Chain A
Amino acid sequence: MKVKVVESVLKANDAVARENRRRMDAAGVLAINITSAPGSGKTALLERTIPALGPEARCAVLVGDLQTTRDAERLGAVAAETVQINTGRGCHLSAPQVNEGLDSLDLSGIQFLFIENVGNMVCPAAVDLGEHLRVVLLSVPEGDDKVAKYPTLFQPADAVLLTKQDLVGVLDWDRAKVYEDLSRLNTRATLIECSQKTGQGMEQWLDWLREQRRQRASGESSAGV
C-alpha cells in the first residue's frame, strides 16, 4: 500500500518558530539570529554592541553553545537579560530551544533580542528560530574564500559583517573576492566591514540595528525570514 503524505518534515520546528516570532512581535522585540563559524567574534561583537546601543535600548541575549556558560557569563555583564542554552551534541539551536529560552527571559521593555547561534557554518543556516533578521559574521582569519564555500549561510542573510578587519594586512585577505562571491549570492544584504577590537564599522552596524528596529516598529520592514 502506497500512502501519499506530502508533509513537511520540518513542520514541528517551523510551527514553534512561528510561535516564537508571534511572542516577540507581541512584546515589541526585534530578534536577530547571529550565525558564523566558531571564533569569528560573535560574543565580542555583542560585548561591544550592547553597551553602545545605550541603556534605553534594553537588550537580551540567548546564547547557544555545545558546552559551558562562558559566553553567557561574558554577555551577562552587558545585557539586561541573558540565557545560555547548552545544546550538548546539537550543532545548531532549534526553535523549541529558543522557545524554552524565551520562557526564562523577561521580555518587557526589551528592544533587541540577540540569538547567538552555535558556531557552525552549515546547520544553523537551515533552521528557522523565529527570528526577524539574520546576521552572518565572516572574520578575516577564516579566509576570503568562505562565502563561496558556504552559500546556504550567506544567501538568506540580511546583513553580513566582515569582522576582525584590524587583521587585514597581517593576514592575506582579498576583499574583492569576498564582495564578488557575495554579489552572486546576495545583493540584498547590508555589508559592514568592522573590527570588534578597534571599533571600526561599529557606527554603521549600530545605525543598521536602529534602522531595522525603527522600520519594524513602523511596519515598513519586509525583510526577515
Chain B
Amino acid sequence: MHELSIATQLMDQVLRVAGENDAGRVVEVEVHCGVMQQVVPEALEMAFEAVAAGTVAEGSRLVIVEDAMRARCRVCGHEYEPNIDDFLCPKCSQANAELLVGQDIVLQTVICETEDRAKL
C-alpha cells in the first residue's frame, strides 16, 4: 500500500539525477528493495508509471531487484542471512537480529539519454 509514496520519492531522485546529467529522456531505473519493506513489484511499477507521466521519465523501464537480507545477532555477534519467516541465529539460536541489509530501498542506477540524443 505504501508503493505510491515510495514511487513519489524515487521519482524525485530520478528527476534530480536526470537534471544533473542534462537528460532529455530516462530509459531505465534500477532500484534495490529490502525484503522488510514488503514492496509489491507490480504495485511499485504501476505507481512509478503514474508519477513518471509527463516527465522525462515517462515510459522508462523500472527494474526492481530484491536484495537478500543480512543481519547481525545482537547476542553473539554472528552475521548471517535470515529468512523473512525465520530470524534464528544459526550459531546461538536466538532471534535477536539487527538488520544490516534488508530494510532500505536504494536507487542504484539511472540510464538516460542526453538532450541532443533524445531529440533525434
Instruction: Judge if B55 is at the interface, Cβ distance under 8 Å.
Output: no
Question: Which one of A8, A9, A120 has the greatest number of beta carbons of chain B within 10 Å?
Answer: A9
Instruction: Judge if B31 is at the interface, Cβ distance under 8 Å.
Output: yes
- For B89, give the chain A residue with the smallest CB separation: A187
A and B contact pairs by CB, cutoff 8 A, 11 listed: A1-B21, A3-B111, A5-B110, A7-B13, A9-B106, A12-B12, A94-B5, A126-B36, A185-B85, A186-B96, A187-B94
B38 touches A125 (CB 8 A): yes
Size bracket, chain B contacts: 35 or more
B105 touches A184 (CB 8 A): no
A6 touches B108 (CB 8 A): yes
B96 CB contacts on chain A under 8 angstroms: 186-188
Residues of A within 8 A of B (CB): 1-10, 12-13, 90-92, 94, 120, 122-123, 125-127, 148, 151-152, 155-156, 183-188
B105 touches A188 (CB 8 A): no
Mostly, the A contact residues are mixed
B107 touches A10 (CB 8 A): no
A4, A123, A184: the one contacting B87 at CB < 8 Å is A184
Given known pairs A8-B106, A125-B36, the reply for A184 and B88 (CB within 8 Å) is yes
A6, A156, A188: the one contacting B107 at CB < 8 Å is A6
In the assembled complex, the CB of A134 is this many whole angstroms from the nearest CB of chain B, namely 13
Instruction: Judge if B15 is at the interface, Cβ distance under 8 Å.
Output: no
A127 CB contacts on chain B under 8 angstroms: 2
